[in-house]
Structure 1
Amino acid sequence: MATAVPADREKPNGPRSRKGVATRARLLGAAKAVFEEDGFLEARISDIAERAGLSHGSFYHYFDSKEQIFREVAMALSDLLHAPLSTAIFDPSSTASPQERIRAGNRRFLEDYRREAKIIGVIEQVCRHDTHLNMMRFEHEQHDRERVSNSIAQLQRKGWIDPTINPAIAASALGAMVTRFAEMWLVQGLFQPDFDDGVEQLTHLFLNALNLRERPAGAGAAE
């Protein structure tokens, strides 16, 4: 992802050796498991270190605090959830239509969200009180909002999308719709549609909001 990495996502004096990188990754995996099981407030550094097979003191060789490692876990999840933009929607090798790309991207996003729903629920709770983490996520995701906005503008120029839509507003509004829908469904369990139906209905709303046409305006007039 092209966004700049926030300064506290990596301990400045942390290890650069292969073993050090592997140990740091092991701590992040252990932290994710502990936060999933205990939540943020109840999670202890000693539990994270023990889960990773390290001493309590070794933790501080890689991270300054529980807050820092939690933020790194949260940012890694942000990367995962935004990956379908590159692997489905903006895949340069794809020959699929815009509609098919959006549908595939929504499906992969929701599949990942469902699989990681427990830790995502913890992250969303913490973000409601941790303004620093909330801003980190917002800034980290800005590059992807710009990619979506630019794509909408490009499709407008080609006649695929309603030209009266504001691309920047649409990118933010549709992103909020998708993520909030996923949280209400897969984290909070406020409704329980069939998974395929949930994907299809979300995609239907997304496409209708853009007024995304089956073909560019003016194309195929003679057919």
Structure 2
Amino acid sequence: MDSAPRSAKGRRTRARLIEAGKTVFERDGFLQARISDIAAEASVSHGSFYHYFDSKESLFREVAEQVEAQLISMADIPPDAEHTSDPVERIRAANRSYLTAYKSEARIMRVIEEVSRYDDEVRQVRIQRDKHLGSRTEASIMRLQADGLADPRIDTSYAAEALGGMVARFAENFFIAGHKFDLEMAVEQLTIIWANALGLTQNGMAHSPETAKSTRRVPPATFSS
């Protein structure tokens, strides 16, 4: 990765190039994106680009890393949801956060998915995201088992891999492949599946008639990305 500039002005210019690159990559795709267009979008000269990045590829990897970090930050989860004693509510909040973040970044995620098929460094960024999510999920399952809330027979590493992969693949189908889902229905169904997989239904998973009826009434809808 290119070294960060030392001056505040340089850092601002570099950040502007990253944002401009994201805009151009979303609009034109990776292969069609040109450095001259990125420089123009950032309001810098073509030559200035190379003070901050060696190539279009290095800029794209930086964009991908920032986007992937945003997906797993869970920064929008309210403190009361993050610290609630109800494990199902925590799962619901995490699923909503991930899907909402993915929706907002769907255009660039489509490009990242394409580039990761032939660029090892971009693929490694995605692998690191999955590892980070997996470690966090595994730790959460361990705590639930220690508290007597999750099925003790579950292998935490297998469960983290399976459940994390389910949500990530669902997000790709939803926002990139264009499958028809409703966001709130998706959050609720993924939460139910996740809770059932861990054996949490016997420990407080709500099955109220109101929830069941509201879930059935929601018609599928396509969300534009």
Residue 18 of structure 2 aligns to a residue whose secondary structure is: helix
The one-letter amino acid paired with 2:169 is R
Distance 2:80 2:11 in 1: 30
1:76 is matched with which residue? 66
Bigger drift between 35-44 and 152-161 goes to 152-161
Question: Could you list the per-position Cα deviations for residues 95-125 of structure 1 after superposition, in whole angstroms to 9, with x for gaps in the alignment?
Answer: 2411111101111111111111111111101
* Between 192-201 and 28-37, the greater mean CA deviation after superposition: 192-201
Structure 1 residue runs of 5 or longer lacking an equivalent are 1-7, 217-223
Q: What TM-score, normalized to structure 1? A: 0.85
* Letter aligned with residue 16 of structure 1: R
Which residue identity is paired with 2:154?
I
The partner residue of 2:183 within 195, 200, 212 is 195
Q: Is the 8 A contact 1:145 1:172 kept in 2?
A: yes
Choose 101-110 or 27-36, whichever is displaced more. Answer: 101-110
Deviations 1:32-74 (A, max 9, x none): 0000000000001111011000001101111111111101111
Q: Which amino acid aligns with 1:124?
A: E
- Distance in 2, matches of 1:73 and 1:176, equals 22
1:88 deviation in Å?
A: 3.6
Please, which of 32, 37, 41 is the counterpart of residue 51 of structure 1?
A: 41
The answer to whether residue 168 in structure 2 is matched with residue 179 in structure 1 is yes
The DSSP-based 3-state class of the residue aligned with 1:60 is helix
* SS of 1:121 mapped into structure 2: helix
Residue 15 of structure 1 contacts residue 62 of structure 1 at CA under 8 Å; is this kept in 2? yes
Which residue of the partner structure matches residue 199 of structure 2? 211
Q: Aligned partners of 1:202 and 1:174: how far apart in 2?
A: 9
Q: Distance in 1 between matches of 2:32 and 2:82?
A: 46
* Percentage of matched positions with identical amino acids: 49
Q: Deviations over 1:144-181 (max 9, x none)?
A: 32121122112111111011111111111111110110
In 2, Cα distance between the equivalents of 1:112 and 1:125? Answer: 19
Distance 1:214 1:16, change over 3 A: farther
Q: Tell me by how many angstroms 1:142 deviates.
A: 2.2
1:128 Cα deviation (Å)? 1.4
**Cα deviation per residue 1:6-56 (whole Å; 9 max; x = unaligned)?**
xx2xx23x4111111111110000000000000000001111011000001
Contact 1:89 1:105 in 2 (8 A): no
CA 1:187–1:168: 2 relative to 1, 3 Å: same
CA distance in 2, matches of 1:67, 1:91: 41
Q: TM-score, normalised by structure 2?
A: 0.84
Does residue 138 of the first structure (1) align with residue 120 of the second (2)? Answer: no
- Does residue 62 (structure 1) correspond to residue 52 (structure 2)? The answer is yes
For 1:104 and 1:76, how far apart are their aligned partners in 2?
22
Counterpart contact for 2:81–2:89, Cα < 8 Å: no
- Does 1:120 pair with 2:115? no
Asked if residue 154 in structure 1 is aligned to residue 143 in structure 2, the reply is yes
The runs of 5 or more residues in structure 2 that have no matched partner are 205-225
Equivalent residue pairs, number? 204
C-alpha distance in structure 2 between counterparts of 1:49 and 1:96, whole Å? 49
Deviates more, 1:196-205 or 1:177-186: 196-205
| C-alpha deviation, 1:90, in angstroms | 9.2
1:23 aligned to 2:7? no
